[in-house]
Structure 1
Amino acid sequence: AEKRFELYILGIFFTFIVVSAATAIYLFEAQRPSSDIQSYFDAIYWALITLTTVGYGDIVPHSPEGRVVTIALIVSGIGVIAFATSIFVSAFSEKMQRLQHERIFQGISRLSDYTLICGYGRMGHTILEELSTSRQDVVIIDTDNTVIEEARQRGYLAITGDASNSHLLEQLNLAQKAKTVLCITENDINNVYITLTARSLSQDVHIISRANETASIKKLYLAGADHVVTPNQDMALVAAEYVGQPVAFEAIYSILSGQDELVIDAIKLFENSVFDGVELNAIDFKHHQLILFGVIQTEADNADEQYYFELTRSHFIFNPHDRFTLRGNDVMIVFGHQDNIAHFRKQARRLK
């Protein structure tokens, strides 16, 4: 609609200049015996070829007044062409952006269980590097078109927009396609709104939000976040731990950063899989060169006399005893080499 209006204004402006210039040149030149303009049609013809900068040279004004009209028409023609060029270039650019958005949305429609990153700042860059190593599908949203273009150049699906816009999240099919939403902008208010919008669209999607201020933590949980991370506090704790226990810190950091291909990973068990209903003493973790840190369960019925930590919707049981019984939907937290974990995951997902 906006482009139609601009074209409408351009047409009116173009017609006005042609008619005005043709009338003026006709009045100044038509009465002269040696004039090339003998009719009003000649004046219209002269005005069109002059305004469009074609200028065949077959009609030349002879009077000073006619030359003044010509100069004014040439200047006006440059303005009309510049205005028309800006309209067409803008329309072409918008069309290309729409096509690019359509291709992005088509790519997203083919994904399943993707992670939506809302805010592609320093924290988003770090998270994306970690997720890319595990080959997880990722979609990025940010209001800054510059960082979105950077993400696209790196091969990621990225969209310029407001992540708190429910219509945009519906276009991304968040309720059916997204597995996790990361609200990690540098503004706590934006993170609250994004969390509210994402939770209103899906009660099952896992939402992790960033809180830059301590006062925002409770608000984010009330908005529907499953977990809230506090980078400033976490960095302070890390720094304090490094000062107190530098050797232990270096060991843990090497694990978390993936050095030497040693990683901590989660392996989810399915119902009726080979480990469903099996006690831990029946699994040879040493053979697989893995260490079991703990098990996450939605219910901790068999967690008596063990160390376990309540999570938002589940329980983390640290270092369970050998008689601990695994169940479908449990998540084992293991430590070891990536190749060993990948092999063990394939075995754990086999059905009985």
Structure 2
Amino acid sequence: GQMTKMFFRQQRQPLEHYVIMDTDPARVEAAKKDGYIAIHEDASSHKTLSRFDAEYCDVTILCLTSSDVENIYITLNAKSISKSIKVIARVNDPETIDKFKYAGADEVLLPNLVANTMIYTAIRQPTMYKAIHAILTGKSIANIDEIHVHASHAMVGKQIEELDFSSSKLLFIGIQRRGDFIFNPSKTERIETFDVLLVMGRKISLEYFKLQHEGDIHVKK
């Protein structure tokens, strides 16, 4: 579907890292012609999902069908196979969000709600809409990226002001920490292991910053 195509257009990883499953043979063949790995299988089938060896590799399942019932069923089956399988599910009806959470979905996507918000922004704040649209579609020289902090990174324990994002020509937006997003935290906020830093800037600036900080070894004194 369209959401799957949009997802792949934004991905930087090789296509062979992903497998598309669909019960419609025509869509499977169309995906193959576009260069994707696609198989004619039912993603809601426990037998199908159990083929993915979650014990020895990281498995993430994207439930992007237009049916909330089917997406919940896929989520339940995936989590029954292994709790380590990450499930990102599309939610068509916002009133079913709790059901997805109970089923074990790690993240939920609300395309209809996002679309409505973007339409409202386009009408009321057209300049902001153009800026957001350019960034999200890759038409802007600026990129928004995530920096995943691990225990080996030298930035662990440092205050945000010590990282000096501005000197790297980056805009620091906030931190995702234990399920909560901290927008524009205090400069004295310290970076913790497993934080996800959200930053914006030119691609070359982002890559340089990562080389400086992600590869360093953090040694406790």
TM-score by shorter chain over 0.5: yes
How many residue pairs get aligned? The number is 216
1:191 corresponds, among 64, 68, 71, to 71
Superposed counterparts of 1:167-246, under 5 Å = 167-246=47-126
Q: Which has the larger radius of gyration?
A: 1
CA offset digits 1:286-307 (Å, max 9, x no partner):
2221111001122xxxxxxxxx
Mapped to 1, the partners of 2:50 and 2:4 lie a distance apart of: 22
Q: Is 1:324 matched with 2:189?
A: yes
1:166 corresponds, among 46, 50, 59, to 46
Q: Is 1:252 matched with 2:117?
A: no
Superposed counterparts of 1:1-352, under 5 Å = 121-131=1-11, 133-135=12-14, 137-298=17-178, 314-350=179-215, 351-352=217-218
Mapped to 1, the partners of 2:92 and 2:166 lie a distance apart of: 42
Greater relative CO (CA pairs within 8 A, separation 6+): 2
Give secondary structure in 1 for the equivalent of 2:4.
helix
Greater mean deviation of Cα atoms: 232-241 or 262-271? 232-241
In the TM superposition, residue 217 of structure 1 has moved relative to its aligned partner by 2.2
In the TM superposition, residue 163 of structure 1 has moved relative to its aligned partner by 0.6
Letter in 2 for 1:204: S
Letter in 1 for 2:197: M
Give secondary structure in 2 for the equivalent of 1:286.
helix
Give secondary structure in 2 for the equivalent of 1:291.
strand
Structure 2 unaligned segments of length 5 or more: list them: none
> TM-score, normalised on structure 2?
0.90
In the TM superposition, residue 134 of structure 1 has moved relative to its aligned partner by 4.7
Mapped to 2, the partners of 1:337 and 1:344 lie a distance apart of: 11
In the TM superposition, residue 215 of structure 1 has moved relative to its aligned partner by 3.5
> TM-score, normalised on structure 1?
0.58
Mapped to 2, the partners of 1:277 and 1:176 lie a distance apart of: 31
In the TM superposition, residue 175 of structure 1 has moved relative to its aligned partner by 5.0
CA offset digits 1:78-135 (Å, max 9, x no partner):
xxxxxxxxxxxxxxxxxxxxxxxxxxxxxxxxxxxxxxxxxxx11111111112x354
Aligned residues of 2:52 and 2:59 also touching (Cα < 8 A): no
In the TM superposition, residue 178 of structure 1 has moved relative to its aligned partner by 3.6
Change (3 A) 1:232 1:272: closer
Change (3 A) 1:145 1:178: farther
CA offset digits 1:214-246 (Å, max 9, x no partner):
333222221111222222222122111211111
Aligned residues of 1:142 and 1:161 also touching (Cα < 8 A): yes
Mapped to 2, the partners of 1:316 and 1:222 lie a distance apart of: 22
